[in-house]
Structure 1
Amino acid sequence: MRFSIATGLSLLIATSPSFAAAPTAAQKLAQDATIVDTHIDAPSELLKHWDDLGVAAPGKEFDYPKARQGGLDVAFMSIYTSPEEDAEGKAWQIANTQIDAVEAMVGRHPDKFAVLRSPGDLERLRAGGRVTLALGMENGAPIGDDLAKIAQFHARGVRYITLAHSANNRISDSSYTVQKQWGGLSPFGEKVVAEMNRVGIMVDVSHLSDDAVRDVLRVTDVPVIASHSSMRHFTPGFERNISDELARAVAAEGGVVQLAFGTAFVSPKAAADLQAFFAAEADFDRANAAAAAAGQPTRSKDDFEKEWKTAHPVPVVHIDAVLDQIDYGVKTIGIDHVGMGSDFDGVSGNLPVELHSVADYPNLVAGLQARGYKDADIRKILGGNLLRVWNAVEAAAAH
């Protein structure tokens, strides 16, 4: 029997008004299970403001003490570069600098962190309470026009690449852009997918247009992932989240959808506001360009963004929104094809009240237990499914 969030979690919340501490059974499972989070934006945040993540870092959603409290075993560090950095020719430099930052974190605290390059090394590297750090590249921009860079980034530890981000690039169309450039993957993008298959880097379809996801599934020879997407069923018209059709197609090829926690992914209002923001931003940029061309004053982009945020406050959401996503994902594509990609440190703190950092995975476990999930199935969601795909991609490349 499954319990609703109202009947199940209300009992937990009643004994813990802040919901800060999950029940002992949930804490125990979180510590014992292998927890894999495929999207944590710590590296880019470190370049904005350095913190020692080996000790408590207030204001950061990932650090070692929080990770141990939450039971996190594999933290995919997001090596993120923006479309603007790509246009300025800085993406390769910035990506390598972020990888250096992750390696420095490990070098500073070898007793707390280790770089994970293969799932086969996990048991050895997490011994002694280490948190293992894998690398996922968010935006294929650092590849440039050079397929050889894919193998170079693999040698540096990158184990998935999100082909595009919030704008079309030389590889793929983005879900966020109104005007698509390629109608899916570019011809070069098809070569990128094939080369990622060859060297053993997982292809990530988060951020891609629907047609690009279809192209990826046509080209790839191995399962793919959506590293941090949620189900579009809850956010109609929001292409950034994955449709039922494409989620089923990813699952049919053995892949996994890693559900994100960010408010914009799980709240219909926040998703609609984000779509409206991108449209308004495009209008703003066009108006500013026209004004500049006519020799007229232009508006400040910072002022535009501040005005938008004031007029569109982010709604408060709770953990039930994420649990509903998991329920629907399991119903739609099966228990073997759902996982977690939180987007911690990447959504400006806009997260469910009870899922505000890597310390809070036990709250998610408690919610799943309250809804009637068996521990074996919770283990699959927490990390088992992702590790299966990673193993499959690695094995295919080896052969």
Structure 2
Amino acid sequence: MNLTKISFLLTILMSAGLLSCNSGAQESNPEQSIEDKALALAKEYIIVDGHIDLPYRMRVANFRLEREFVDPSVKTNGDFDYVKAKEGGLDAPFMSIYIPASYQSRFDHEYGRFLEGEKNRAKVLADSLISMVEDITEKYPDKFTIATSPQEVEAAFQKGLIALPLGMENGAPLGDDLANVQYFYDRGIRYITLTHSKVNQICDSSYDSTRVWNGLSPFGEEVVQEMNKVGIMVDVSHISDSTFYDVMKITKAPVIASHSSCREFVPGFERNMDDEMIKTLAKNGGVIQINFGSTFIDDRSREKTEEVGQHISQWLEENGLAREDSLAQAYIEKYMTENPTYSTVKKVADHIDHVVKLAGVDYVGFGSDFDGVGDTLPNGLKDASEYPNLIAELLRRGYTEEEIEKICYKNVFRVWNEVQKVAEELS
């Protein structure tokens, strides 16, 4: 029974004198009422998050000298784990199969081509990270399960399991073989971020001043078309503006921006989407999933982070210390506490408001980048237990339950289902 039905039933019972309540207590603390309602909605609705970097966090931890093991079935020091997800109502976090640019073929500027050496490293890493997620679900079948469709997410939700759909961040593992699109679909991948921090064989990156292709490469055009045919969502996060518009010309299915925010609030930051891109994304039927990182959502936080980083680097150099030294760690912790760079949950809501104003409520969702943006998460959204804080902020701003349900999961489900439908039509 949803909250509207419960409220209606309570009204009838009170009117009939069959139920009484202390309305004064409720009126004296309306803020608590919003928090309670937000928590209830977080538990009632499926919450999908477009991008969480648990697999790579686990890989890094497991390769440290101390052989630390990250067990996501219990509470950890990270942003995402089973306990935090259950507290916050997170039901379907897309596990990022993150491939650093160092694993892809390098571009030789002198000869104008990508070097062939070790071109399979990216695919090997992708396979290992996918297997790592599979291992989680096999080890903890009472808590996690792989999901490859909205229908499987819904089935997991009904069973009380956390669904783990897969998205691959960086198309480098495709190499130069289109058959790898089908290969990774068969391995469970349901979106591919075309590139990451550097230009690759598919397209240019927003982070890379080198614009080899001025958008999609010829091979990249084929990749987008093949993703449409196979049923993998095209993720336009990280790509350059020119690549985005190339994708829009070619794709026959709606696309996602799995973890991007609005450039309106961080001028000049190409990693975010500008207003025209957001409008174009909406016309395509796609969805932008807002990144929670403070430097993505708040220009002042971005400037402050750069100032703090420069100060710390200078201090380390002047004192002849490495960042890993215990004395340096103590200083850094104290300095960052005294010079906070964090934004707030209100700013994330501002980004959602901005998308809604530009395009409508049907084209926005959550893409936290938990475990991927380091110590930059805003106050009120520090980990997966705090989605109710964002829902509460949306309630304060007048969003209806129906609108919040769309933002939590229905918008992403609509795109995901449409991508599946287009693939069936093309095949």
TM-score bracket relative to the smaller structure: 0.7 to 0.9
Does the Cα contact within 8 Å between 2:301 and 2:342 map onto a contact in 1? Answer: no
Matched, 1:23 2:27: no
Identity across aligned pairs (percent)? 45
**1:270 positional shift:** 3.9
Alignment of 1:116-155 (within 5 A): 116-155=147-186
Aligned to 1:83: 101
Does the Cα contact within 8 Å between 1:230 and 1:242 map onto a contact in 2? Answer: yes
3-state DSSP of counterpart to 1:23:
helix
Per-residue deviation, residues 309-350 of structure 1 (Å, max 9, x unmatched): 999976121111101111111101110001110000001131
**1:362 positional shift:** 0.6
Q: CA RMSD in A?
A: 2.7
Does the Cα contact within 8 Å between 2:34 and 2:396 map onto a contact in 1? Answer: no
Per-residue deviation, residues 21-45 of structure 1 (Å, max 9, x unmatched): 9721111100011110010000000
Q: Which moved more, 1:257-266 or 1:122-131?
A: 122-131
Aligned partners of 1:272, 1:243: CA distance in 2, in Å?
A: 19
3-state DSSP of counterpart to 1:258:
strand
Match of 2:358 among 332, 356, 376: 332
One-letter amino acid matched to 2:90: L
Identify the structure with bigger relative contact order (alpha carbons < 8 Å, sequence gap 6+): 1
Aligned to 2:72: 53
Matched, 1:225 2:243: no
Aligned to 1:200: 231
Match of 2:84 among 59, 66, 74: 66
3-state DSSP of counterpart to 2:259:
coil
3-state DSSP of counterpart to 1:355:
coil
One-letter amino acid matched to 2:247: V
**1:140 positional shift:** 0.5
Structure 2: gaps spanning 5 or more residues = 1-27, 62-68, 106-117, 311-320
| Closer, same or farther: CA 229–319 of 1 in aligned 2, 3 Å | same
3-state DSSP of counterpart to 1:77:
strand
Aligned partners of 1:302, 1:155: CA distance in 2, in Å?
A: 42
Aligned partners of 2:375, 2:163: CA distance in 1, in Å?
A: 23
**1:121 positional shift:** 2.1
Displaced runs of 4 or more, over 6 A: 11-15, 273-277, 300-303, 309-314
| Closer, same or farther: CA 256–274 of 1 in aligned 2, 3 Å | farther
Aligned partners of 1:191, 1:148: CA distance in 2, in Å?
A: 11
Matched, 1:114 2:140: no
Work out the number of aligned pairs and report it.
Answer: 361
One-letter amino acid matched to 1:40: I
Aligned to 1:343: 369
Matched, 1:392 2:418: yes
Aligned to 1:288: none
Alignment of 1:202-281 (within 5 A): 202-271=233-302
Matched, 1:186 2:217: yes
Structure 1: gaps spanning 5 or more residues = 1-10, 16-20, 281-299
**1:51 positional shift:** 1.1
| Closer, same or farther: CA 22–181 of 1 in aligned 2, 3 Å | farther
**1:123 positional shift:** 2.4
State TM-score, norm by structure 2. Answer: 0.79
3-state DSSP of counterpart to 1:380:
helix
Aligned partners of 2:303, 2:358: CA distance in 1, in Å?
A: 23
Alignment of 1:352-363 (within 5 A): 352-363=378-389
Aligned partners of 1:245, 1:354: CA distance in 2, in Å?
A: 30
Aligned partners of 1:157, 1:81: CA distance in 2, in Å?
A: 16
Per-residue deviation, residues 195-247 of structure 1 (Å, max 9, x unmatched): 00000000000001000000000010010010000000001111000010011
**1:180 positional shift:** 1.0
One-letter amino acid matched to 1:195: E
Aligned partners of 1:193, 1:302: CA distance in 2, in Å?
A: 42
| Closer, same or farther: CA 185–272 of 1 in aligned 2, 3 Å | farther
Aligned to 1:41: 53
